[in-house]
Structure 1
């Protein structure tokens, strides 16, 4: 028994998942966060991963907070320790009186535990191996099994999790039934062998309201679609790559001619950031609404083209999902570090327009507005995001769009106007 009294809290605690990179845990962890939302309880999740190119340990933290706080609280009330490499660090991060959930298939020496926390062992590997023979299935369903065990420990309604699984696999009946089965394997084992629930509990509430749960990068990409963007040229760089990926997904749903099925957009992965911004400016010069998604090191490489856009008065949009440090230094550390670099990009005599969304809703609104501003002002417009907004789900106001809205083309003149010899100064 722990020396410290176990933490007892309803709808106000922090769970952190420590996973092996590539284990397929992301889907299950996100489902955990979404299932708590279905209970009417706000959550604030965070992806935590190291600044390395190679795949190394990752963490996913869920702050359950009925008060609706968005920031990290600090401290961990329950650690789901699924990575032996980070075990010591993970155990040390648990608050006194907190809980350690781990795979107890292989016995752990008592020296690896603490006497001021509650240790909860579930033989996840043994349960998985006795049920599945395919190696990949064993790995993937282990994640759903621990989700099932957590649902029992935290007193969560399994029907709400089943509902989420049903929505995710609504067209794949075999996957739907197998995931529900895995969920109940873990839940049934916990109910039979453990004291459920523990001191941390999820109680149904009504604090979510009509808010939506969306990543900033996805919201900004959707804003680009509604803002009229037809060209995206980009080069992969964390944490902006998912923005271009999301734009691709949104365009596949929304930018195909309903009669012919023909794509009404172009998405180009350039050979580098210089090529990407060059494609954007070339597309804009030819009348398309175009943008690129990048991060700080990309801005450094694009500076010369940014100056061209400014002085030649060619509209363009750059969505900068900021990260700390130069080059590959700290690609997964969030920081609003590019403000001065973007505000005065080029070599003197430039002042650029920067838009600063506070959440995914504003990322959507500002992304759409950026294209109007670019054409109105005939220059490059920066949408300044960051990893915390871009790559994390946030609860925010629903995205709204006025279908009566007209694009602001600014000083753009039609061919007829040019043929008539009209002058910009008189017909703005």
Structure 2
């Protein structure tokens, strides 16, 4: 058995490529394997290149793998596009009509007439993906009974004829592999632990985390790649006593969040970059009126409509500064599916306690990523709530009281003696409009005092991760889903004899200043890998800490790879060594 296996299924959108991968994921999770996936698909409903990559392991992993052990191609285009990603001695399974370039002679190649078996023998082209699953059942050594049981569960609400049809397709794929794959190299699966794991996407984990954190109202408008959050909550939140409303647009969604939250309900929305742009004015209202809200932004590629189904980390500046005036808000960025669950709860706690909007940044790769989660992790109860006011009847209630704590007790609508004005205009302690310089200055300071208070709050502790050799001179600072390839790259660099260390802040406003200053004081070089063109996080670090940075950016719509990061680490190490030798030579002279 191998401790690790990376495989990719590639074809055309509409051929069931993703279904094959998701089925393998569910089977692996039931057996107790760890797994991480990455998928890419076109914006069109049908047609266009599509693939899903799985990495299965006996140990916990944070990246979907780089070079492939196994590649399954359903057409020539998929083969041409992906064959260079195979290891030299990898295994290729492809449609029988595909031409394999001669330079790939070291590969083990299995050609299977998927199309012919599906159309001529079964009579249904849509059965092709189940035929593929049958061949993989033999190649990977998967128990046939386990797959049959899974298919029976999957098609439980369908007729017996539908189930029998799919079982026939599975058997025919298995039969072909048994007859033609003899005497060749097989692909070995990692050893399963037998301890069943949860399997969910980043979007599902966010929705699940929101439910566990006590969300009562969700308002949203469908947008790729965030729609699954609303879809999950639409099914499950009403059973928990909550409400889900699909609004006519993102502006309506965030305004509904503001209203429901003002009334006392934990409320949230989810969107992508275009939607967050539309929400920016109301985010300013949430800040001014001190109304808590959780906003999920699943980032995608490019400005405007851009690349809806591709990944990027290019909304950081929008999340930090996207509103007119000085408008403090909290910005967070989980690094994994498990973190999506946990940090959604933290986002609600911070929003409610400090009466402030919290924006949580994920991206298409993390939103769509399937990942195993340990069952004990997915348990949570709300840890913080709003400080409630107990106003005296007949007195004047100071909703925005100055002095003392940064948190002003809030009286919900209907609270006796709690009458006050709620407005987006600058206001005094009672909420009445005030535009004099003293009031505006005092209220602005009050709103911004929340950020250092949040930074020192136990709720925001343990929201950064340290990786690698703490004595290394080469440092890496990254955020969000780029943490996975960074973690793997540091391990590879260490195997090459190059020491590196990293820090991954998961709260980006307020930044963990003490930890970052300590980190910068211990390294001589700072590499900042991220998925945007201008190096937004690197710019934030330079402007905040006056530290020189080395940007490693990528805007191809796919995640960074450990190999790309290792290459940058090696370049920096080589330059550092050359400078050290030059200084030593001068000193010796």
Tell whether 2:347 aligns with 1:349: no
Tell whether 2:177 aligns with 1:193: no
Question: C-alpha displacement at 1:186, in angstroms?
Answer: 0.8
Q: How does 1:312-331 map to 2 (within 5 A)?
A: 312-331=289-308
The DSSP-based 3-state class of the residue aligned with 2:411 is: coil
Structure ranking higher on relative contact order (CA contacts 8 Å, 6+ apart)? 1
Which piece of structure 1 moves more, 220-229 or 95-104?
220-229
Question: C-alpha displacement at 1:240, in angstroms?
Answer: 1.0
Q: Give deviations 1:216-241, integer Å, cap 9, x for gaps.
A: 11111122223333332222322211
Question: Contact (CA 8 Å) 1:51, 1:329: kept in 2 or not?
Answer: no
Residue in 1 that maps onto 2:61: 69
Residue in 2 that maps onto 1:238: 224
Equivalents in 2 of 1:32, 1:184: separation in Å? Answer: 16
Q: How does 1:160-309 map to 2 (within 5 A)?
A: 160-172=146-158, 174=160, 175-195=162-182, 198-202=185-189, 204-206=191-193, 209=195, 211-251=197-237, 254-255=239-240, 264-270=242-248, 272-309=249-286
> In 2 relative to 1, CA 18–389 (structure 1 residues): closer, same or farther, beyond 3 Å?
same
Tell whether 2:127 aligns with 1:150: no
Equivalents in 2 of 1:385, 1:93: separation in Å? Answer: 26
Residue in 2 that maps onto 1:6: none
TM-score by length of 2: 0.62
Question: Contact (CA 8 Å) 1:154, 1:196: kept in 2 or not?
Answer: no
> In 2 relative to 1, CA 196–171 (structure 1 residues): closer, same or farther, beyond 3 Å?
farther
> In 2 relative to 1, CA 420–64 (structure 1 residues): closer, same or farther, beyond 3 Å?
closer
Equivalents in 1 of 2:197, 2:190: separation in Å? Answer: 19
2:26 to 28, 34, 43: 34
Q: How does 1:397-408 map to 2 (within 5 A)?
A: 397-398=374-375, 399-401=377-379, 408=385
Equivalents in 1 of 2:122, 2:7: separation in Å? Answer: 28
Gaps of 5+ in 2: 388-408, 421-428, 431-589
TM-score by length of 1: 0.83
Question: C-alpha displacement at 1:173, in angstroms?
Answer: 5.5
Equivalents in 1 of 2:223, 2:279: separation in Å? Answer: 14
Q: Give deviations 1:363-406, integer Å, cap 9, x for gaps.
A: 22332343343232222111222223221111223244456x57
> In 2 relative to 1, CA 273–402 (structure 1 residues): closer, same or farther, beyond 3 Å?
closer
Residue in 1 that maps onto 2:113: 123
Q: Give deviations 1:267-312, integer Å, cap 9, x for gaps.
A: 2232x32232222223323443322111223222221111111112
The DSSP-based 3-state class of the residue aligned with 1:10 is: coil
Which piece of structure 1 moves more, 10-19 or 193-202?
193-202
The DSSP-based 3-state class of the residue aligned with 2:372 is: strand
Equivalents in 2 of 1:305, 1:291: separation in Å? Answer: 13
The DSSP-based 3-state class of the residue aligned with 2:51 is: strand
Equivalents in 2 of 1:363, 1:41: separation in Å? Answer: 20
Which piece of structure 1 moves more, 405-414 or 90-99?
405-414
Question: Contact (CA 8 Å) 2:412, 2:418: kept in 1 or not?
Answer: no
Structure showing greater radius of gyration is: 2
Question: Contact (CA 8 Å) 1:25, 1:143: kept in 2 or not?
Answer: yes
The DSSP-based 3-state class of the residue aligned with 2:9 is: strand
Equivalents in 2 of 1:53, 1:414: separation in Å? Answer: 46
Residue in 2 that maps onto 1:16: 8
Question: Contact (CA 8 Å) 2:118, 2:126: kept in 1 or not?
Answer: no
Which piece of structure 1 moves more, 45-54 or 226-235?
45-54
> In 2 relative to 1, CA 79–402 (structure 1 residues): closer, same or farther, beyond 3 Å?
closer
Residue in 2 that maps onto 1:260: none
Residue in 2 that maps onto 1:4: none
CA RMSD of aligned residues (A): 2.9
Residue in 2 that maps onto 1:46: 38
Residue in 1 that maps onto 2:365: 388
Gaps of 5+ in 1: 1-8, 257-263
Equivalents in 2 of 1:187, 1:79: separation in Å? Answer: 17
Tell whether 2:345 aligns with 1:368: yes
The DSSP-based 3-state class of the residue aligned with 2:416 is: helix
Residue in 2 that maps onto 1:86: 78
Question: C-alpha displacement at 1:214, in angstroms?
Answer: 1.1
> In 2 relative to 1, CA 42–362 (structure 1 residues): closer, same or farther, beyond 3 Å?
closer
**Number of residues of Structure 1 aligned to a counterpart in Structure 2:** 399
Equivalents in 2 of 1:141, 1:357: separation in Å? Answer: 38
Question: Contact (CA 8 Å) 2:300, 2:312: kept in 1 or not?
Answer: yes
